[in-house]
Amino acid sequence: MPVETKQVNWTDAALQAEVRAAARNYQDHMVKFLRDMIAIPSESCHEERVIARIKQEMEEAGFDEIKIDGLGNILGRVGSGPRVIAMDAHIDTVGVGDPEAWKVDPYQGDLKDGVIYGRGASDQEAGMAAMVWGAKIIKDLDLAGDCQIWVTGTVMEEDCDGLCWQYILREKVLAPEVVVSTEPTNLAVYRGHRGRMEITVRTKGVSCHGSAPERGVNAVYKMAPIIAAVEQLNEDLAAGADPFLGKGSVTISDVRSTSPSLCAVADSCTIHLDRRLTVGEDLEFAVKQIQDLPAVKAAGAEVAVLDYAETAYTGLVYPTKKYYPSWVVAQDHPAVQAGVVAARVANEAEPVVDKWIFSTNGTITCGMFGIPTIGFGPANEIYAHSVDDQCPVEHLVRAAAFYAAFPTAWSQSAGA
């Protein structure tokens, strides 16, 4: 039988005000929930306790279904229509680095002058806090329409962008027709970002005693012209700049060597490349670029894409290449247009439409699997991974209103 749907008109000022008022009503719930999550250390592969806290919050909000998959992702549903929408927040965080560099305890979730501080506030547990109570508003105001909305708290993103969604999609845990990422956007609508990959270049030498280096072949010296060539390649990539995403980039993020001792010539040298990918650049393209560098050929260097095969908190290992494609959704796509409608409701103004600088799970949902994906999240991405990690309380309220409005906006924009 067809699902009976409430007729929703998002140009109706009274309905918009009702949604914003409902979000305001749950402000205290969102603040407490976010502070509780911040207080639970949840670095990649160690998210079990924060997943349990999210399950508790979903139960309090009256979700229709809650499940945890084999990788440890939590998925909660409201609504039962045929259209499947996913709203996603990765709930793992990076570490705190030097605790002395923080002005607050990174695991206290300090609330001061309308701003919540602590590790994960911006990146990106605020999105989870707003999503759960946005889903509650959908239930309260009967805004699911012909949709079922899945709120996903995903794991291991900081270690391996989108591995969580490779699992969800390949293992058929969920098959959404559109995805909303709640990574921080400063309440703007985002529609893409550059991809990235991790590449190593390795030179081999011949070790000998350091007192007579001429007897060996120093792998570090063989690497030196490659390092200069990589620096030049980054400048040359400007020629392939995309009008929206900009240029690709490459930088050396680590250099290491091996030798029998500190009194010996290095017998190997390895550099680690952080390669950012714009439109038209993929794994094969980027690897060949490095392999074709004259310095790489002259040194006979080995070029490889790294693998990721860490153990999830559930005990599962789900290996993948450390390759995360770029993606862009067209400005006039129904997902973007629905996001603009929902953002008008939330912000009471015309939203900015832009892109992330960093990478998100969208690299898999859209970049690898082609599922239309947009972003709208509380907090500003400039605070991600920083000792000033923070989210304004007002952003939680407005984001919750957005998540409540998006499903019917999507259904109307996408049509049958």
pLDDT for the residue 415:
83
Query: What was the pLDDT predicted at 291?
Result: 98
Same domain, yes or no: 63 and 179: yes
* pLDDT score recorded for residue 4: 54
In a domain, 313, yes or no: no
**Per-residue pLDDT averaged across 3-29, rounded?**
90
| Cβ-Cβ contacts under 8 Å for 154 (sequence gap 6 or more) | 73, 88, 89, 90, 91, 164, 165, 168, 361
pLDDT of 1 > 50? The answer is: no
Query: Which among 179, 133, 117 has a CA at the least distance from the CA of 338?
Result: 179
* Candidate list 157, 158, 183, 389, residue with the active-site label: 157
294 and 189 co-located in one domain: no
Quick check: 306 and 274 in contact, CB under 8 A?
no
Q: Which run of H or of E encompasses 203? A: strand 195-204
* 83-90 and 178-181 strand pairing: parallel
Decide if 310 is catalytic. Answer: no
Q: With 90 as the cut, is the pLDDT of residue 3 above it?
A: no
137 and 208 share one domain: no
315 within a domain of the structure (yes/no): no
297 belongs to a structural domain: yes
- Residue 319 counted as domain residue: no
**Domain match, 35 and 95 both:** yes
Torsion (CA) 216, 220, 226, 231 in degrees, nearest 10? -160
Here the CATH number for the domain that contains residue 37 is: 3.40.630.10
Specify whether 188 is located in the same domain as 205. no
What is the domain extent for residue 303? 195-308
Which two tokens mark 304?
Answer: 């490889």
- Helix (H/G/I), strand (E/B), else coil: 383: helix
CB of 225 within 8 A of CB of 190? no
The arithmetic mean of pLDDT across residues 138-158, rounded, is 97
Over range 108-112, report the average pLDDT: 95
Is the pLDDT confidence value at 9 over 90? yes
Give domain status of residue 112, yes or no.
yes
Q: Within this chain, do residues 104 and 253 fall inside the same structural domain, yes or no?
A: no
One domain for residues 204 and 112: no
Predicted confidence at residue 222, as pLDDT, reads 98
14 CB neighbour count, 10 Å cutoff: 7
Q: Are residues 251 and 265 in the same domain?
A: yes
Residues 80 and 185 in one domain: yes
* pLDDT above 90: percentage of residues in the chain: 97
Q: Count of domains in the chain?
A: 2
Q: Name the domain boundary from 275, 308, 341.
A: 308
At residue 246, does pLDDT exceed 90? yes
Question: What is the average pLDDT across 369-381?
Answer: 98
Average pLDDT over residues 71-79: 98
Q: Which of 57, 69, 88, 92 is catalytic?
A: 92
Spatial distance between the Cα atoms of 107 and 128, rounded to a whole number of angstroms: 17
* Confidence at residue 6, expressed as pLDDT on a 0 to 100 scale: 73
User: Which residue has tokens 């708290």?
Assistant: 153
Whether 22 is in a domain gets the answer: yes
Q: Which residue(s) pair with 354 in the sheet?
A: 190
pLDDT (mean) for 376-394: 97
Check whether residue 294 and residue 353 sit in a common domain: no
Q: pLDDT tier at 2 (50, 70, 90 boundaries)?
A: very low
140 part of a folded domain = yes
Q: What is the mean pLDDT of the chain?
A: 97
Instruction: Calculate the CA 68 to chain-centre distance.
Output: 19
> Which of 308, 336, 360 is the endpoint of a domain?
308
Question: 200 and 189, same structural domain?
Answer: no
Identify whether the C-beta of residue 126 lies closer than 8 Å to the C-beta of residue 26.
no
Task: Say which CATH number the domain at 277 has.
Answer: 3.30.70.360
Mean pLDDT of 252-266: 97
Please, what sign has the CA dihedral across residues 316, 373, 343, 6?
negative
Outline where 244-306 has alpha helix (H): 283-291, 294-299
Active site residue 388: no
**Region 135-149 average pLDDT:** 97
| Residues 179 and 61 both lie in one domain | yes
Q: Domain for residue 321, yes or no?
A: no
